[in-house]
Amino acid sequence: MGASLTEVGSKLAGLLFIWGTIQQLFPQILCKRIESFWTRLENYFYPYVQITIDELTNGKNNEIYRHVDTYLGTKSVDTGAKYLKAEKCENSRSFAVILDEGEEIIDEFEGATFCWRSHNETYTITFNKQHREIVMGKYLKHVIEEGRAIEFKNKKQRIYCNDSTLTWWLRLNTMWKHVNFEHPATFDTLAMDPKKKEEIINDLIAFTKGKEFYSKVGKAWKRGYLLYGPPGTGKSTMIAAIANYLNYDIYDLELTSVEDNLELKKLLMETTSKSIIVIEDIDCSVDLTGKRKKAKKNKKKEETSDSESDSDSDSDSDSDSDSDSEGKKKLTLSGLLNFIDGIWSACGQERIIIFTTNHVDKLDPALIRRGRMDMHIEMSYCRYEAFKVLAKNYLGIDTHPLFQEIEPLLEEVNMSPCDVAESLIRKNTSGGIEICLNNLILALKDAKEKAIQEAREKEKQDSEQVKEEKPKKSKKLSTKLVRSYGRFKKIFR
Ligand SMILES: Nc1ncnc2c1ncn2[C@@H]1O[C@H](COP(=O)(O)OP(=O)(O)OP(=O)(O)O)[C@@H](O)[C@H]1O
Ligand SMILES: [Mg+2]
């Protein structure tokens, strides 16, 4: 009896085990079958994929969301979306129009259709799964680039300066101080030879479109311009015109406020792409031997203690200017050269470096060699073509009978565009165009007369100098003759 009970028990246990196994196995297989069937059914009735772009990712602003926002804002006009929001964006010249909550728009790209929906600070894009490759490979990239380009076009330009008066804790955050840049200069208002102007504009266009070229030839994407010429010929105005043309920010680097090479490097690292780094009057900022001139703030000190400054400058010239061998921190020419085209100079992309000077001959050739300063642009005195631009700007005229008189005078006289503009700017106060032009003619004649007088005086001075030197020479000759006569006498005595 006991044996038969044990047998029944073990058989029951076997049956329970098989039942458990069946229970475990079948639902999974069944579920999988149902699942795959459902997916097939879903794909058949709903063959779409959805991508979500949130405004915040890990608590930080999602850059892609912003670009999508801008892109869809501009698309909303063409697609006839009805529910929109207008927003004033920080650092933007105009307000932005974006999709309102729940609004949808349809966008098309390469024959594919995409449905965008704004919902709860999120954008969702829905598309047919057969367009997955287009979306991943091209479309999203296109949306981001377009959005970025629109933002760039609308952004307010800024001008930055390196401020040595910033306290050290503020400098930890940034070494540059900025204000909005609102200079009205453009290439249209810039008075210079039209061919030269066109050449510069073409060079700028080639540069901005040169991303692939620069990467192909293995060069950092940057370009250097040297602007040289007498005062008042439009060097600073040209910088403003370039910045406005490209919509770039300007970093106005005051070298005399830079402590040492390391600080220069830090300043460089804090500049952004699509910007112009300007060093004005470069010949006044850095000694051509590579030594740094005293910072402006130390000027007074120098004046009061001449002897101190003498010994200082001596020690400067004694030391090897391009090395920090004595552990002294300083800004050197080599530091500046590294700033322009050392490996660190490639820490940002699409950057322009501009130097200006009144004395190009004073600059170290290493500083302005091609490759560092790719284009040397001479800003010269106002000739007839440049004058016509100024006349158009200041007087609103293309031609005038008095131009015939002005043209030859401008070719003869060296007058800066700044001085020419000064005569033309008095249109309102002087009473009219003709009076302005006559004033200019008088100013040009005066300048011509002055130049002739100066030339005469110089000639006179030169001839007097020659006269003074002649008796000296003849005196020297006679003493020589006397001496040699003495020797001659000695020999034949
Ligand atoms: N080529 C120019 N075209 C239009 N305006 C000019 C030109 N040159 C000078 N001006 C006028 O003269 C003023 C002085 O010009 P700007 O400051 O550009 O000269 P600069 O060459 O930078 O002089 P500096 O060498 O003294 O710095 C400008 O405000 C501008 O109005
Ligand atoms: Mg200037």
Out of 196, 237, 282, mutate this one to test ligand 1's pocket (max ligand atoms within 8 Å of CB): namely 237
For residue 250, the CA-to-ligand 2 centroid distance in Å is 14
For residue 418, the CA-to-ligand 1 centroid distance in Å is 5
- Closest-CA residue, ligand 1 atom 18, reads 234
Percent of the residues in the chain that have a pLDDT greater than 90, as a whole number:
36
Region of 432 on the Ramachandran plot (φ > 0 left; ψ -120 to 50 alpha; else beta):
left
Cβ proximity of 115 and 104 under 8 Å: yes
Predicted confidence band of residue 247 (pLDDT cuts 50, 70, 90): very high
Residue 41 has pLDDT above 80, yes or no: no
Percent of the residues in the chain that have a pLDDT greater than 70, as a whole number:
75
Q: What Cα–Cα distance (Å) separates residue 38 from each residue in 35, 43, 51, 357? A: 5, 8, 21, 75
Higher pLDDT, 90 or 268: 268
Q: State the closest ligand 1 atom to the C-alpha of 240, by its place in the atom list counted from 1.
A: 18
pLDDT tens track for 393-434: 999 999 999 999 999 999 999 999 999 999 888 766 666 888
Mean pLDDT in residue range 179-204: 94
Q: Helices 433-492 and 384-395 sit at what angle, rounded to 10 degrees?
A: 150
Is 377 touching ligand 1 by the criterion CB < 6 Å? no
C-alpha 76/C-alpha 46 separation (Å) is 26
pLDDT tens track for 424-443: 887 666 668 888 999 999 99
Is 233 touching ligand 1 by the criterion CB < 6 Å? yes
For residue 233, the CA-to-ligand 2 centroid distance in Å is 8
Q: Helix, strand, or coil here: 239?
A: helix
The number of C-alpha atoms within 13 Å of 487 and in the hemisphere containing its C-beta is: 5
Considering every ligand atom shown, identify the ligand nearest to the alpha carbon of residue 232 and give its number: 1
For residue 416, the CA-to-ligand 1 centroid distance in Å is 8
Higher pLDDT, 192 or 43: 192
CB-based burial of residue 40 (10 Å sphere; 0-12 exposed, 13-18 middle, 19+ buried)? exposed
- Closest-CA residue, ligand 1 atom 17, reads 236
Mean pLDDT in residue range 40-44: 72
Residue 284 has pLDDT above 50, yes or no: yes
- The pair phi, psi for residue 146, each rounded to 5°, is -65, -45
H or E, element range at 487:
helix 433-492
The number of C-alpha atoms within 13 Å of 431 and in the hemisphere containing its C-beta is: 4
For residue 419, the CA-to-ligand 2 centroid distance in Å is 14
Name the token pair of 398.
């293309």
For residue 429, the CA-to-ligand 1 centroid distance in Å is 22
Radius of gyration of the chain from Cα atoms? 38
Q: Residue for token digits 């050392």?
A: 342
Out of 418, 419, 425, mutate this one to test ligand 1's pocket (max ligand atoms within 8 Å of CB): namely 418
Which range has the top average pLDDT, 2-16, 32-46, 265-279, 312-326?
Answer: 265-279
Predicted confidence band of residue 321 (pLDDT cuts 50, 70, 90): very low
Instruction: Using alpha carbons only, give the angle 238, 243, 248 rounded to the nearest 5 degrees.
Output: 160
pLDDT computed for residue 146 by the predictor: 92
Mean pLDDT in residue range 352-369: 90
This complex has an ipTM of 0.98
- Closest-CA residue, ligand 1 atom 30, reads 418
